[in-house]
Each structure stands twice: as structure tokens, then as C-alpha cells.
Structure 1
């Protein structure tokens, strides 16, 4: 996590190293329009292309004992088009999402923030707590989930952090937390998940769950009164918390804040919101970090998946 936070912060400060990251695309699948499949590409010209395909299926944990978010990442050589690496997308997605929140919070939250509030206690909540514990002197976590068992089990899942964990109501979280992360699978049209009635005047909010048109977690009146930054402006306006706002309501994006931290510092005593829709540059960096760690630990298998004939003009000349 420390390496992910450092590497992602470095790439954000340097404007993405010249990469090209279009907004993600995909389609709705399954009954009830609640599940989606998306593809998220990042192109680093002359070097490589990373593509993540990710399935979002809110029914997975209860019905199939599978994560809500399942994905796969692939890395291609930009010169030849060859497939270079294939990787699970579940773990790196969770870790890079936590790292992005840590970077945004380090810019916008008070440095002495000690109480973390979590609305939603699923898998993403674990990496949010982990990442924020690496950059703030956290002492306590207050957590809420509409599934009481998820809330009760959270303390055990983050026991490695050594922090006090209390199950709480949303109102209690708003009254106590210096930093709040909303990490829910709220359905389209069912938001927001925050009340916005008891927020501390300096609270920083990391809004993670909005990723569809009509899906949001933070009340509009809170967004209108806050300084709001997005990781990907176009995605925010289309399917994040930004869909409740006009383009002019958004402040500089996270990469600009990383490059010019003074733009963020003046807002620390007021309400701030990071609209984290997640974008493919983050996945590209996460893939880089995992490939480095695999090489250092001697993990991973080298396979030739593509059929590369001895005679490039003869598909039956098997190598």
C-alpha cells in the first residue's frame, strides 16, 4: 500500500506521464439493470497499453460468495501489440482505490485527522481504512452498513491496523468523523447514503461508490457547499457525484491538486469531497507496482499464450 500511494502520487504530480486515458465504457448486463461490464484502457504511446475489464455485480456476495467487483487486467506492448502480462483485477482495484483516497485526503483533510467514518463495510472499506491509516494518525474507525453482519465483521477484517472500531449510525458517523468514506453498492435512484445534517465543519469525504448514471452517495446540498475534486472530470460529470453538479461546480481535478498542493490547502477548514470514480491510469500504475513486486518476490508464471508461427505468413507453421 505504501508503494502504491507513493507511485500513484508521483504519477499524478507529473500529469500521468503523458499517457492517454479515455473515459471508461461498457454495458449493463443481467436482470434489473444492476450489473455492468466495463472496459478501462490506458495508452502510454511507444511503451504499452493496459486494459482492465471489470464486472460490477451487487448480488455476488450474497448469492455466489464472490466479490461485488471482479476484473482482469492485461498489458500489451505498444510497438508489436503482443500480450505481455495478465493479472487479477480484484486486489489491485481495491488497493489503488484506497491509495487514491489517501492521496486526496492528504491534500484536503486536516493533517491531525483521527476519526475515520465508513459508510459501507465491504471489501473496498478495508483498503480505504488501510490506506488512510498509512497517512493519518488515525485512532478510531466508526462504521455503518445496511447489512448488520458486514458492519459487525469489519473489526476482525481490519484487526491488523490496531485501531478501535465501533459500529455506528450514519448520524453518529457524521457527528464524529474527520474523514468519511462512502463505499456502498447503493442502487440507481436510492441515494444518497449520507444525511448531510451533522457533518463536522472541516470533514473531508471520499465518495467511492457512484459509477452509474443516477447512482450517487452524497446529498446535492453538501456537494454544492463543498470544494469538490474528481479523479476523472468527464466520468464524474457523467456517472459520479458530479452528475448532480454543473462543470463549473467542480474544482481542479486530483492530478492538478497533486501538481499544485497550494490549491487544496486553503480548503482544509471547510467541507471537501473527492469524487473517486476510478480510472485506467490508476490501474496502469497498480499493474506496474504488482509486476515489480512479483519480480522481486520471484512470483508469476511465464507463458506463451499467443500462437506465434515460425513463418509469420503461415498460421499452420507452429513454433
Structure 2
């Protein structure tokens, strides 16, 4: 099944943005709980290439395997110059799924919207456990594409009434209210210090350079503030001040990855709390955290992509969408790569690879 960007957007249009996001939150919560409880899931840290100027950013691959079922691999690029220089999104990618028994590719999908949706869903899931259930003011630092799905996902789980936003790029900040207008919230610009003093939940999703952070002040936060730190994705790149992390309970999505390229880079091991899968499986164990300063260190890992792809594949089947594409080698003689290929029904067809 091929799911192009247009088919993915058509699924969202037909099912509705809220329902798609709710499905991803539900699926990801279930999968995280199963992972903690011993399901045969494997999500190693991502790997890739760091690009220097003029093409600053990274090219990465992110694998997740469910033994006996399938494996999902996302190829993703982070290119912060894209919006201004090339009119392209900062994050681009493609997701492939292969059958765990045969290795046959079963799904190929555009990853742009799926990445934004699953990242927002992960923050909402962590916030549901760690933030006050009465949270009604969200602060956003960095108003790029990720900020839209961060606020959207939170609005489905909390009684959000106001969004305070800050960005170092005036044009991004100016357009943010229009991009989240579908949520019907009061959106206004505010300084980082205002965000700390007024917000119940803050999401940081910036393209700050390595060593250029933090993007928030180191004092003046609400006692029960919860922060979803989303932007750190490179060794040496962090968004939060050390003083805030030292005062907080810090929970990573993927411990190994977060200590390499997340906010947890700044912390000794004993200051790093349980991972997101345990938060989902044992939410009652973290009830006391609601009244404390907490941080979700979200670096993004491939279980999230696998869960989001599950949602879109199921939706495509419901709606009769997705394009069947025969592109893999299926020779008439599996021991002879030069033999004629077979079509999906097993009949000889023209050569294709």
C-alpha cells in the first residue's frame, strides 16, 4: 500500500483532525503500555548523518520491530533552513513497513504529517499523567509546524482556553494564530518569562542551534508547571536551562536516546526518571508529580511512528484509500533474479524492480 501525502490528508479530511489525533493518542498509549509490560517490541536509538553548513541539519533512520509481525523504518531529515530558503517543511520523511516473516515491503507512506501528529500525541500522553488536569493555559516556544499539533493534541485532553506563544522569527509568530484558529482558542504573543509565570503547560519546539540554548529563563515558573521539551534532536542541542531541569522531575520518552541528544544530556543518571512507557503503564504511581515542576524530554522514537502508521493504514482500509503498487522483485523462479517477474496474482508480467 502506498500512502502519498495527498492520500494522508484525504484521510484526515474524511475522518476529521480531532478523531485522527484521538486515534493516535489511543493507539500510542496502548502500544507504550504493552512495551512496558513486555511485548516483543524493539526500538533502538535512531542513527544518521549530521550535515554541516550550508545544508545544516540531519539525515536519520529510525527503526522499530514487533517480533513476529512487522518492522517499521522511518527515513527523516531535519533541515531548519527549509522554510525560508526552499519553501519546504523543516522535517521531511518517508516510512516503510516490512513483513517480519518474509521481509516484503507492505506499506510506504509520506511521513511529514504522521511525524507532527505522533509528536503532538506523545506530549499529550505525557501531559495527561504529569500536568494538572485543570491546565488551561499553554505556552509555546517555537511556532513552527510542530507547535500546531502540540497545541491540538493538548486541547483534546485538557480544558485549554488560552495559548501564549513566542518565536524569534516574527513571521512565524505572526502566522501562528491563523494556523491554530481551527481550535477556537485565545492565542496571543508573550515573552518567554510571561510563559513561565502564566502557563500551566509549556511546549518548546525550536530549531535553536547546538550550544545556543536555553530558550526559557532559569527562574519564575509556576510551581505545578509541566514542560514538553520537543526540540532537542542533536548532540549538544538543548532548550531548557539546567536550573529548571535540576528543580524538576524529568521523564524521557526513550532513555538511551534522550541521554544522547535530549535534555537529559544535561543530567546525571540519577536525576532521570522513568520513561514514557512506564508513565502509561503505571500512571497512578506518578500522581504526586501533578503538583510538581515536571519535564517530558521528547526526542521522538520509532514506536511512535509505528503506532501512527497503524492508525493511517487502518483508516485507509476503512475508506478504501491507498494505492496498491507492485514494485518489489517477484521472479517466476525465486532462485533466478533474471527470470520473468510475476504480477500480484502470480502471472508473468513485464519486468519491474
Regarding TM over 0.5, the answer is yes
Please say which structure displays the higher CA radius of gyration: 2
* 1:315 Cα offset (Å): 1.6
Conserved in 2, the CA contact under 8 Å of 1:121 and 1:143?
Answer: yes
1:181 maps to: 203
Contact 1:307 1:318 in 2 (8 A): no
Instruction: Name 2:130's counterpart in structure 1.
Output: 108
Is the Cα contact below 8 Å between 1:122 and 1:150 reproduced in 2?
yes
User: Are 2:331 and 1:303 aligned?
Assistant: no
Once residues 247 and 103 of structure 1 are traced to their aligned partners in structure 2, the CA distance between those partners, rounded to angstroms, is 23
Give the corresponding residue for 2:292: 270
Residue 160 of structure 2 is aligned to residue 160 of structure 1: no
Structure 1 match to 2:67:
45
Matched, 1:55 2:77: yes
- Does residue 256 of structure 2 align to residue 234 of structure 1? yes
Match of 1:257 in 2: 279
Give me the whole-angstrom Cα distance separating, in 1, the residues matched to 2:80 and 2:176: 18
1:14-64, CA deviations, whole angstroms, 9 ceiling, x for partnerless residues? 226321111111111242683110100001111111000100001000000
- Residue 224 of structure 1, aligned match among 246, 249, 270: 246
Residue 28 of structure 2 aligns with which residue?
8
Gaps of 5+ in 2: 1-20, 342-353
- Name 2:237's counterpart in structure 1: 215
Distance 1:152 1:216 in 2: 25
Q: 2:42 is paired with a residue of what secondary structure?
A: coil
Classify the secondary structure of the residue corresponding to 1:74. Answer: strand
Note the C-alpha offset of 1:105: 0.3
SS in 1 for 2:196: helix
Q: How does 1:78-227 map to 2 (within 5 A)?
A: 78-227=100-249
4+ long deviations beyond 4 Å:
none
In structure 1, the residue corresponding to 2:224 is in which secondary structure? coil
* 1:65-80 correspondence to structure 2 within 5 Å: 65-80=87-102
Unmatched tracts of structure 1, length 5 or more = none
Distance 1:29 1:308 in 2: 37
1:285-300 residue pairs with structure 2 within 5 A? 285-300=307-322
Question: Which stretch shows the higher mean deviation, 18-27 or 29-38?
Answer: 29-38
Instruction: Provide the rounded CA distance (Å) in 1 between the counterparts of 2:251 and 2:308.
Output: 21
| Aligned length in residues | 319
What is the distance in 2 between the residues matched to 1:108 and 1:33? Answer: 37
> What is the aligned-residue RMSD (CA, Å)?
1.1
The alignment partner of 2:296 has SS state of strand
In structure 2, the partner of 1:282 is 304
Other structure's SS at 2:143 match? coil
Alignment of 1:4-43 (within 5 A): 4-15=24-35, 17-31=39-53, 34-43=56-65
